[in-house]
Amino acid sequence: MSIDAAQVGQIAHLARLAVDEQESEAHARNLSDILAFVDRLAEVDSKDVEPMAHPLEMTQRLRPDQVSEPNERERFQALAPSVSDGCYLVPRVIE
């Protein structure tokens, strides 16, 4: 499996990363090398191995449905670059 420059551009867009077009070829080569390395795992017969969802041999603990978090809006909003009327403000997004 290999990756071309166009796929690098697409992945970068999904991750909101700015990638210089001139560097795309180099990134494509590096990423392809990494995938080729990981691909060696495919040589192992894993037919009877259950896919691992988590490295710990434990299961999820459940929490009772009781309110435990108070309103701390003032503290959180002190960290935000811009707030108004209780809302966090972000550059305009329109659907």
Partner 1 sequence: MQWEAVIGLELHAQLATKTKIFSGAATAYGAEPNVQACAIDLGMPGVLPVLNERAVRYAVRLGLALDAEVAGRSVFARKNYFYPDLPKGYQISQYELPVVGQGHLDIDLEDGSIKRIGVTRAHLEEDAGKSLHEGFVGMSGIDLNRAGTPLLEIVSEPDLRSAREAVAYMKKMHALVRYLEICDGNMQEGSFRCDANVSVRPVGTEKFGTRTEIKNLNSFRFVDRAINYEIERQIEVLEAGGEIVQETRLFDSDRGETRPMRSKEEANDYRYFPDPDLLPLEIDSAFIDEVRAELPELPDVRRQRFVEQYGLSNYDAGVLTASRELADFFEIVAAQADAKLAANWVMGDFSAALNRTGVELNTSPISAQALGALVARITDNTISGKIAKEVFEVMWETGQEADAIIAERGLEQVTDAGAIEAVIDEVIAANPGQLEQYRAGKTKLMGFFVGQTMKASGGKANPQQVNEILKRKLDG
Q: Which residues bind partner 1 (CB under 8 A)?
A: 10, 13-14, 16, 51, 53-54, 56, 58-69, 71-73, 76-77, 82, 84-95
Q: How far is the CB of 85 from partner 1 (least distance, A)?
A: 7
Q: Is 29 exposed, middle or buried (0-12, 13-18, 19+ CB in 10 A)?
A: middle
Between the CA of residue 42 and those of 10, 38, 47, 53, 55, what are the distances in Å? 25, 8, 11, 18, 20
- Residue closer to partner 1 (CB basis): 21 or 72: 72
- Residue closer to partner 1 (CB basis): 1 or 64: 64
